[in-house]
């Protein structure tokens, strides 16, 4: 039997290939073939980045694991947003809003819906901790209202945007809320965010994870994660003109670029949540979903606010009327889903219908 070096694993090769690809394509005008090739490398690098984040997460344990994965995905999202905004083009003034809102809808309806549906199809009824999940949902709703709803109604600046002072306040408040939730999730009430057993008890941490990776494996994954994130940022800049051109060529509104970004960065996390649901770990799926939504708002808005110093033109954050209706309905349905601490395939289906409605209206506003 031939010996296979661990250094030939795709999770090691892809970050190296991504860095080489970035060096060869940066600053060049790409033809169609190269655009497709770079897009494939970018997608593979996102998958690898999340894989290495999961390895690190397995080492630190739940609920730290979900937190690591959510933050890693958010770093990719922020990098893509800032890269496209600084590159300019149609719709970039509202790109941060469109991407963050898309991330909120995909996580709270898409990831939650898929997880509940898969779990219910296999186990009939899915069980989770209503206290921890409810706290996460309340934080997501507050962050969304503060950063995406209020700018629509403030009057200091024309249009759905904050003044400089309001943006600073929203950024600081978002960071404070996110920090308080992380403290609650990882220190004060960790048991609220661990999977629930069939008898309603909290699963032991040994039951939550696969075998813990070694310190060497974790350190290697951490290094490769950093390399992958750097590559994602660079390749996103290379691909940004092609992403915008493709959306416009398809006849979609410029705001759909934000949906593309959110779908790209959240696909690996959706797969991780689906795997957890099939293993009867719905709480981990919900941790991933609401943790990603929270990090997307609580970290992206402050980062965009800081980057606005170098951004020309307005920074539109306020949602439109259709988006406000979808967000309000999502919050109401999510509360009704979370409060009982258990859900069936019906709840999963309702959330997926809400996601489908969002995607349809994003294409045909």
Averages of pLDDT over runs of 10 residues in the chain (365 residues) are 56 89 82 84 82 75 62 71 66 80 94 94 90 92 94 88 88 89 79 69 50 79 82 77 80 84 79 86 89 85 76 80 96 94 92 96 90
CB contact set of 327 (below 8 Å; sequence gap of 6+): 101, 104, 105, 144, 148, 149, 319
What per-residue confidence (pLDDT) applies to 63? 55
CB contact set of 142 (below 8 Å; sequence gap of 6+): 177
Kindly report the length of the chain.
Answer: 365
- Contact (CB, 8 A) for 160 and 317: yes
What is the C-alpha separation between 162 and 329, in angstroms, rounded? 24
Q: Which domains does the chain have, with CATH numbers?
A: 9-363 (1.20.1420.30)
List the one residue out of 107, 104, 116 whose CA is nearest residue 350: 116
List the one residue out of 192, 82, 95 whose CA is nearest residue 139: 192
DSSP sequence for 125-180:
SEE--HHHHHHHHHHHHHHHIIIIIHHHH--SSSSS---HHHHHHHHHHHHHHHHH
Q: Tell me the backbone φ, ψ of residue 342, rounded to 5 degrees.
A: -150, 155
List the one residue out of 348, 334, 337 whose CA is nearest residue 274: 348
What is the C-alpha separation between 262 and 162, in angstroms, rounded? 23
List the one residue out of 145, 358, 174 whose CA is nearest residue 262: 358
What per-residue confidence (pLDDT) applies to 105? 95
What is the C-alpha separation between 255 and 99, in angstroms, rounded? 8
What is the C-alpha separation between 230 and 224, in angstroms, rounded? 10
List the one residue out of 134, 110, 144, 141 whose CA is nearest residue 185: 134
What per-residue confidence (pLDDT) applies to 90? 55
pTM recorded for the entire structure = 0.83
CA dihedral over 123, 128, 130, 136, signed as positive or negative: negative
Q: Which residues pair with 342 in a beta bridge?
A: 127
List the one residue out of 158, 40, 149 whose CA is nearest residue 100: 149
CA distances from 360 to 9, 354, 364 (A): 39, 10, 6
What is the rounded (10 degree) CA torsion for 301, 306, 312, 314?
Answer: 40
For tokens 């997608």, name the residue.
43
Gap between the terminal Cα atoms of the chain: 58
What is the C-alpha separation between 363 and 190, in angstroms, rounded? 40
Output the six-digit token pair for 149. 């709803």
What per-residue confidence (pLDDT) applies to 3? 41
What is the C-alpha separation between 75 and 229, in angstroms, rounded? 8
């Amino acid at each position: 039997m031939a010996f296979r070096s661990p250094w030939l694993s795709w999770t090691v090769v892809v970050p190296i290939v991504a860095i080489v690809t970035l060096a060869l394509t940066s600053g060049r005008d790409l033809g169609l073939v190269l655009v497709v090739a770079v897009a494939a490398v970018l997608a593979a690098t996102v998958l690898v980045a999340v894989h290495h984040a999961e390895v690190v997460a397995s080492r630190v344990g739940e609920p730290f694991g979900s937190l690591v994965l959510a933050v890693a995905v958010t770093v990719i999202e922020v990098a893509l947003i800032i890269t496209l905004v600084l590159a300019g083009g149609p719709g970039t003034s509202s790109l941060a809003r469109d991407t963050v809102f898309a991330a909120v809808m995909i996580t709270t309806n898409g990831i939650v819906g898929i997880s509940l549906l898969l779990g219910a199809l296999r186990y009939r009824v899915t069980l989770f901790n209503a206290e921890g999940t409810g706290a996460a949902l309340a934080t997501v709703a507050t962050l969304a209202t503060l950063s995406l709803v209020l700018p629509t109604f403030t009057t200091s600046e024309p249009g759905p945007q904050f003044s400089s002072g309001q943006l600073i306040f929203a950024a600081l408040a978002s960071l404070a809320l996110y920090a308080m939730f992380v403290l609650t999730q990882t220190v004060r009430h960790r048991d609220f965010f661990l999977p629930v057993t069939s008898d309603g008890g909290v699963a032991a941490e040994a039951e939550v994870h696969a075998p813990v990776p070694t310190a060497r494996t974790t350190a290697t994954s951490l290094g490769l994660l950093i390399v992958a994130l750097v590559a994602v940022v660079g390749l996103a800049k290379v691909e940004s003109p092609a992403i915008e051109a493709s959306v416009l060529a398809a006849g979609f509104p410029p705001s759909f670029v934000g949906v593309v970004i959110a779908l790209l960065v959240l696909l690996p996390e959706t797969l991780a949540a689906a795997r957890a649901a099939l293993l009867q770990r719905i709480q981990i799926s919900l941790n991933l979903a609401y943790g990603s939504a929270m990090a997307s708002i609580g970290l992206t808005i402050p980062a965009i606010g800081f980057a606005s110093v170098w951004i020309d033109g307005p920074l539109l954050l306020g949602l439109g009327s259709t988006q406000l209706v979808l967000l309000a309905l999502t919050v109401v349905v999510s509360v009704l889903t979370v409060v009982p601490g258990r859900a069936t395939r019906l709840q999963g289906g309702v959330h997926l219908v809400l996601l489908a409605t969002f995607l349809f209206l994003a294409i045909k506003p």
